[in-house]
Amino acid sequence: MKTSTYKTAAKNALKGMWGVAIGVFFLYFIINNVLAIPDNEYLWLFYLLMIFIGGPLSIGYQWFHLELIRYHNPGVSNLFSGFTKNYLRNVGTYLMVLIFTFLWFLLLIVPGIIKGLAYSMTFFILRDRPELTVFQSITESRRMMDGRKKNLFVLFLSFLPWVLIPLLLIFIGLIALPVGTTANDPVLLLAGSLSSLVGLIGLFGVSIYLAPYFTTTLAAFYDSLIPADDLESIQTDENTNLVDSTQSFR
């Protein structure tokens, strides 16, 4: 399938749901920034928060968009589903993916990118295959991405133009500020500060649109890897469980 096919599927799924998707992004963004509050003195606390809270939250964020691409009716509660469904397995998987990717990046950037692409479907698999263990989920992602990593990489690159200008402004600011400090040049300092500020604001503004769009597109890519019969079976089982739980509630 072409990159445009996944993007079109994402746009169709987001029709009428942009408000909810952007609201979930804001909530996700705020919580992640709260988790980053501990300073260097409590760096251990930051790591614990990112693993035990940020991990399941990131998984739930992907599950929200998978729900969106399949059923077009996710709720904000989907963002927190990583805490309510196999929490310990989700935490363990998040940690292992993080460690494996980091170790590959220590070798070289290219192997790190390749392995990152190989592990990219793991969090979606956690939702559809609750019977799999941490390492089985990672292995299944590698299997699904075998021969398809190039397609996903091209998909990632197609979103790059959205962030090029903000990143360029931030980069210019990061260059100008130390140079201006060394040269004691107030004009250069002001220009560097403004460039960084505008770049950061622009990057956040783009992210409001891009984060839901990108993650929904990624969910569409994942669904394309699942055989039609298996996907239909997953959806049938979920609908049956939803009906059963509703009847039990009544």
Category of 38 on φ-ψ map: left (φ > 0), alpha (ψ -120 to 50) or beta = beta
* Closest alpha carbon to 90 in 122, 121, 119: 122
For residue 87, tell me if it sits in a domain. yes
How many domains, in total, are found in the chain? 1
Burial class (CB in 10 A: 0-12, 13-18, 19+), 163: middle
Could you tell me if 7 and 13 are in contact, meaning their C-beta atoms sit under 8 angstroms apart? no
For residue 192, tell me if it sits in a domain. yes
For residue 241, tell me if it sits in a domain. no
Query: What pLDDT digit, counting tens, does each position of 104-147 carry?
Result: 988 888 889 999 999 999 999 999 999 999 999 999 999 999 99
Quote the pTM value: 0.88
For residue 244, tell me if it sits in a domain. no
Query: What pLDDT digit, counting tens, does each position of 30-47 carry?
Result: 999 888 876 677 778 888
Could you tell me if 221 and 158 are in contact, meaning their C-beta atoms sit under 8 angstroms apart? no
Distance CA 4, CA 7 (A): 5
> Which pLDDT belongs to residue 86?
93
* Closest alpha carbon to 25 in 70, 69, 78, 73: 78
Distance CA 246, CA 86 (A): 21
> What value does the mean pLDDT take over residues 73-86?
94
> Which pLDDT belongs to residue 240?
59
pLDDT at 250 over 50: no
Distance CA 145, CA 116 (A): 11
For residue 100, tell me if it sits in a domain. yes
Residue 6, SS3 per DSSP: helix
pLDDT band at 228 (very low <50, low <70, confident <90, very high): confident
Please provide the size of the chain in residues: 250
For residue 242, tell me if it sits in a domain. no
> What value does the mean pLDDT take over residues 76-95?
96
* Closest alpha carbon to 223 in 82, 63, 79: 63
pLDDT band at 245 (very low <50, low <70, confident <90, very high): very low
For residue 221, tell me if it sits in a domain. yes
> Which pLDDT belongs to residue 243?
45
- Which range of residues forms the domain containing residue 53? 3-233
> What value does the mean pLDDT take over residues 79-98?
96
pLDDT at 237 over 70: no
Could you tell me if 79 and 64 are in contact, meaning their C-beta atoms sit under 8 angstroms apart? yes
For residue 41, tell me if it sits in a domain. yes
